[in-house]
């Protein structure tokens, strides 16, 4: 077994126990976390970037941001949260929604959107400044010309949105 001991770093002396910290993570790391922990979705096919949330050096949540799935929303300035998954830690979802929007704004996006199941209350989104803007009918992606097997729940969802102040005018 390899020796895992390392000398303490100065930053380790000041690290607070139990504090949540956001950090960049790779697509592969985010997909592995989603595959293990997400309740009703598989990992996405791709994304723009991912953010992880750690507590006591353990990954406790991820958020994956990509282009909007719906073509009508893909104007080049809209980022969509395509997956958010945590281990259930208190306030983890709110922290990840806020981190995703802050990173997106820093990259020049003026609008953020995400969808949640209609059965979910959206408390974390509300706490992060997002607004519920509509209900979207759940449906299958399968059609006669391109049959598919659904791996997601085909139930109604609510669309949530956040914008920069310039676009909100």
Contact predicate 116/122, CB 8 Å? yes
Which two three-digit tokens encode residue 87? 């281990």
pLDDT of residue 157: 82
User: 61 has which bridge partners?
Assistant: 53, 86
Domains and CATH numbers, the chain: 18-168 (3.40.630.30)
CA 21 to chain centre: 15
Contact predicate 68/74, CB 8 Å? yes
pLDDT of residue 169: 40
User: φ, ψ for residue 49 (rounded to 5)?
Assistant: -160, 165
* pLDDT tens digits, one per residue of 142-159: 677 777 665 555 678 889
Q: What is the pTM of this model?
A: 0.77
Q: Could you give the CA distance from residue 157 to residue 50 in angstroms, rounded to a whole number?
A: 23
């Amino acid at each position: 077994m390899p020796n895992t001991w390392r000398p303490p770093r100065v930053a380790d002396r000041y690290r607070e126990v139990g504090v949540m910290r956001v950090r960049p993570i790779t697509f592969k790391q985010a997909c592995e976390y989603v595959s293990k922990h997400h309740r009703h979705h598989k990992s996405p096919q791709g994304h723009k970037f991912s953010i992880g949330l750690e507590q006591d050096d353990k990954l406790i949540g991820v958020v994956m941001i990509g282009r909007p799935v719906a073509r009508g929303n893909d104007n080049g300035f809209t980022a969509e949260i395509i997956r958010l998954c945590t281990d259930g830690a208190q306030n983890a979802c709110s922290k990840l929604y806020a981190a995703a929007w802050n990173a997106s704004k820093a990259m020049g996006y003026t609008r953020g959107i995400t969808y949640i199941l209609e059965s979910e209350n959206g408390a974390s989104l509300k706490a992060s400044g997002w607004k519920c803007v509509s209900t979207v009918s759940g449906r299958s992606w399968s059609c006669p010309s391109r049959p598919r097997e659904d791996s997601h729940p085909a139930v109604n969802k609510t669309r949530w949105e956040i914008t920069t102040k310039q676009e909100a005018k």
